[in-house]
Amino acid sequence: MASSYYKPCPELDRCNQLIEEYWFCGEYAKCFAGHLELAKQGYPLAECQVGYFYLKGLGVEQDLEQAVYWTTRAARHGDWDAQYNLASFYEQGAGLPADPEKARRWYALAARQGHALALEKCRAEGIPYASEMG
């Protein structure tokens, strides 16, 4: 999970520790609980992860409403993966009504940060993403 995108901080260290200790051995409930604690404190990476846990039903009962809530929260806090995921929710109508314009907006925001899949999507579909977009 660690990459140059995420700035070093205690919250990132804790997310990485949770993945190392619990994710890889399939203890999803413990991994979810640790991420939820960080997400409630407003750490965007953890918010995005909590959204994913709810989306997939890993360590917690699957709940699309909660997946959208946490993913939206992380996306608004600037997490590029959450922005990409939220765009796909809008594109597919997963957990909320399909909205192609909102999908394009979130793909563009993720692409501006250099998210590889968002860049690919924007280029393939002609979605403008340059910083001049506003």
Average pLDDT, consecutive stretches of 10 residues, N- to C-terminus, the chain (134 residues): 80 97 97 98 98 98 98 98 98 97 98 97 95 48
Measured CA distances, 86 to 23, 35, 115 (Å)? 23, 19, 13
What was the pLDDT predicted at 131?
61
What was the pLDDT predicted at 121?
97
> What pTM was estimated for this model as a whole?
0.93
Sign of CA dihedral 22, 88, 132, 78: negative
CB-based contact 16:2 (threshold 8 Å): yes
What was the pLDDT predicted at 101?
98
Domains and CATH numbers, the chain: 10-127 (1.25.40.10)
